[in-house]
Amino acid sequence: MRCVRVWFKKMGMSRYVSHLDLMRAMTRALRRAKVPLWYTEGYNPHPYITFALPLSLGMESLCESMDMRIEGDSTNEEIFSMLKDNMPPGIEIINVSEPVFDPKKIVYGEFDILFDCKNNAEYVAELVKDILSKDELIVQKLGKKGRHKVLKDINLIEFIKEYTVSHYGERVKLSIILPAGSSTNINPSLLADEIKKRVEDTSYTLIRKRLLTENLEQFS
């Protein structure tokens, strides 16, 4: 028995698949592909499958990973071949590898926020730069107070590690690194929504590009 890490994209309409439904879909796909999964012992055996960091509903991703335990001597290349043609729509297997980092090492995420602008993209890009150059951008984030969930005011600027802004055609791309670990997690939609409020006729797409450790090493 050994552990392998399956890397996949979650794009298109699959971004609206919840984490729970994704787990069910992937489990069915693994069985359909006849991957030699290792099952727990006991009254209700089930395959050992875990995901590094659940993706927010509505967000696309180029860097999702799923750890699983397999039996036998199948190679990573053979596992890849078993899986690649058995995925649900919008899910694409891109690699199978040995786990390097524990998911607990994830501290940051690198995201692209793509704004589709009917207005001048150059103007929107300058507006985004101006917003991010300020000392404060106060938004409300859902948090906990005791056992209750409450809205808390946070300054988003304090959580931004790095960012770049570019534009082409009618689209503005904001590439940004934000906390994405188990202790602190900032959804880029908080920032995207604030920018959208200030620009009429603008929509956006969120893509998670990479997960990073505290030292900004790529999670692998």
Domain parsing of the chain, residue ranges? 2-99, 105-212
pLDDT at residue 45 is higher than 90: no
Average pLDDT over residues 84-91: 93
Contacts for 134 with CB less than 8 Å, ≥ 6 apart: 157
Kindly report, residue by residue over 19-33, the tens digit of the pLDDT. 999 999 999 999 999
Per-residue confidence (pLDDT) for residue 148, from 0 to 100: 74
| CATH code, 105-212 | 3.30.2350.10
Among the listed residues 122, 115, 99, the one whose alpha carbon sits nearest the alpha carbon of residue 6: 99
Calculate the average pLDDT of the chain: 93
Common-topology check for domains 2-99 and 105-212: no
Report the topology of domain 2-99: Alpha-Beta Plaits (3.30.70)
For residue 158, pLDDT over 90 is answered with yes
Is 33 in contact with 86 (CB distance < 8 Å)?
yes
Say what the pLDDT of residue 146 is: 67
Q: Check residue 149 and give its pLDDT.
A: 77
Kindly list the distances between the CA atom of residue 20 and the CA atoms of 38, 63, 189, in Å, as whole numbers in the listed order: 21, 18, 21
Residue 70 in this model has a pLDDT that exceeds 90: yes
pLDDT tens for 94-135 read 999 999 999 999 999 999 999 998 778 998 999 999 999 999
Rounded Cα gap, residues 189 and 133, in angstroms: 18
